Amino acid sequence: MIARFASRRPLPDALRQEIDRILEEAATERQTDLDAAWRLLEDAHVLSQPWVRPHMRVHLAMLSLGWAQRDRGEIVGQIGRLIVAGPGSAAGRYPVGNTGRSNVSAFKPMPIRDDLARRLDNPS
């Protein structure tokens, strides 16, 4: 499903803090466990999609990790996503639940894990 919001809603403080915490944890994990870092960034992506700035921050973190791994596919994929992520979030048109990695279509909606869905439904 592609999200289509009639009005823009502000990013709740609790959700902003959660996204920040996940990004910090991913930065720490990238030193020792790349798979864990990617999983955290995917979670942050799902949570950030409705909002331009956090969504862009997550894609920048993904680009940085792809760069550190010298993963050409991830680098190219993240550059493309950086081009469309901001406008997509601003317009309220993005593939709900998409994990944001280059190994999945940038336009494919995906199921949202229950714990993340609860955070989005009740961000306080």
Q: Are 75 and 63 in contact (CB under 8 A)?
A: yes
β-bridge mates for residue 95, sequence order: 2
Report which of residues 123 and 99 the model is more confident about: 99
Q: Are 41 and 62 in contact (CB under 8 A)?
A: yes
DSSP 40-106: HHHHHHHHHTTSHHHHHHHHHHHHHHHHHTT-HHHHHHHHHHHHHHHHHHHHT--BTT----TTS-T
Residue 7, pLDDT score:
44
pLDDT (tens digit, 9 = 90+) per residue, 4-17? 543 468 999 999 99
pLDDT (tens digit, 9 = 90+) per residue, 41-90? 999 999 999 999 999 999 999 999 999 999 999 999 999 999 999 999 99
Residue 30, pLDDT score:
96
